Amino acid sequence: MKVLVYSSKDFEIPYLGKANNKSHQLTFIKDALSSETAMKAVGFEAISIFSADEACFITIEKLKDFGVKYIALRSVGYDNVNLRAASRLGIKVANVPSYSPFAIAEHTVALLLALNRKLIESNLRVNRNNFNLNNLVGFDLNKKTIGIIGTGRIGAVMSKIMYGFGCTLLGYDIEENNNLKEDYNLRYTSLKELCEQADVISLHVPLNAETHQLINEDLISDMKDGVIIINTARGSVINTEHVIDGLKNGKIGALGIDVFENEKGIFFKDNSQDIPSDELLIILNAFPNVLITGHHAFLTDEALTNIAETTIFNLNCWDSGNETVNELTKDTVMV
């Protein structure tokens, strides 16, 4: 099968090549998928896209006209794909439902520790031969209350890690995980109660209509003064303007994010020679108690291996005329 791989990154190409093992004819391009770049898929039966690619209704229609039958996502999230349009036009779509919850959860903890213990500022001082310890005071995580919003695969690993630190765990999800309650003493609460009691709030929910800008001024007002918020889920799960207000008035003590609601067109590329244009990102970067990483929580050897293998597995299934268990379009309601 001829496959065009959009938004290909240098770090992932070897993994995809190894997993493919010459099964398919892969062509890698740097361009992200959009209505403008869809024409590059002419002559390809399948495409593979990343989380920053845009497969809207217009793009899907163009892909259909160009002969594309399959879209293999290299991500868990699929909010960037119009599944109804794909189903209606007969294009099959599959994702990578799980690659390494450990990668995301461990990165979440890294952000938390770096913020709490002021590691970035400490290192900057040492680089200038300044060993003064003023204003570097953090707190023990032991016995602190951690609020975990979203207790799926990643949230479950986060719970395990925080339990190991001796934390009290609060959880919020539409479906409770009894194993977390039994193994780590996690207590499920309302979202309001979680915000009122948690010293640290960690977000691990998918982006959908219910979670879009879930963290807003109303919920922030319920939070403890000085709360730490960590978001390694999706950028639009938080209302960035409201969070900035919380940082300014001290309600939010620190913010760690690996995702940003306006990251499209900014993340995954070197913009070091350009003048920043996103005002919210500029403001966030100006806070000493904000730590931002460029959507690389997934970036581990294990995760990249799993992503590549599952992507190729999905393509193999389609190529052999079979369904893949990871298909997203088979149960999509067409309107």
Give the pLDDT of residue 264: 86
Query: Can you give the pLDDT at residue 128?
Result: 97
Tens of pLDDT, residues 20-75: 999 999 999 999 999 999 999 999 999 999 988 999 999 999 999 999 999 999 99
Residue in the block written with tokens 């119009």? 82
Sequence-distant (6+) residues with CB within 8 A of 65 are: none
Measured at the alpha carbon of residue 271, what is the angle toward residues 268 and 275, in degrees to the nearest 5? 145
CATH topology agreement for domains 2-99+301-319 and 101-292 = yes
Question: What letter would DSSP give residue 221?
Answer: H
What residue segments make up the domains of the chain, in order of their start? 2-99+301-319, 101-292
Confidence of residue 333 (pLDDT cuts 50, 70, 90): very low
| Cα–Cα distance measured from residue 79 to residue 158, given in angstroms and rounded to the nearest whole number | 23
Predicted pLDDT at 334: 45
- pLDDT at residue 220 greater than cutoff 90: yes
Fold of 101-292: Rossmann fold (3.40.50)
What pLDDT, in 10s, does the model give residues 129-164? 999 999 999 999 999 999 999 999 999 999 999 999
Class of domain 2-99+301-319 as given by CATH: alpha beta
Give the per-residue pLDDT at 332: 55
The pLDDT value recorded for residue 226 is: 97
pLDDT in tens, 1-14: 999 999 999 999 99
Per-residue pLDDT band at 265 (split at 50, 70, 90): confident
Q: What is the DSSP string of 239-252?
A: -HHHHHHHHHTTSE
Active-site positions?
234, 263, 295
**In 3D, which of 287, 278, 279, 277 has the Cα closest to residue 257?**
287
Is the pLDDT score of 269 beyond 90?
A: no
Average pLDDT over residues 226-231: 98
pTM of the model: 0.92
Query: pLDDT tens digits for 86-113?
Result: 999 999 999 999 899 999 999 999 999 9
pLDDT above 50: residue 211: yes
pLDDT at 335 over 60: no
Q: Kindly tell me if the per-residue pLDDT of 193 is higher than 80.
A: yes
pLDDT digits (tens, 9 = 90+) for 279-299: 999 999 999 999 999 999 999
| pLDDT computed for residue 331 by the predictor | 63
**Spatial distance between the Cα atoms of 166 and 185, rounded to a whole number of angstroms:** 11
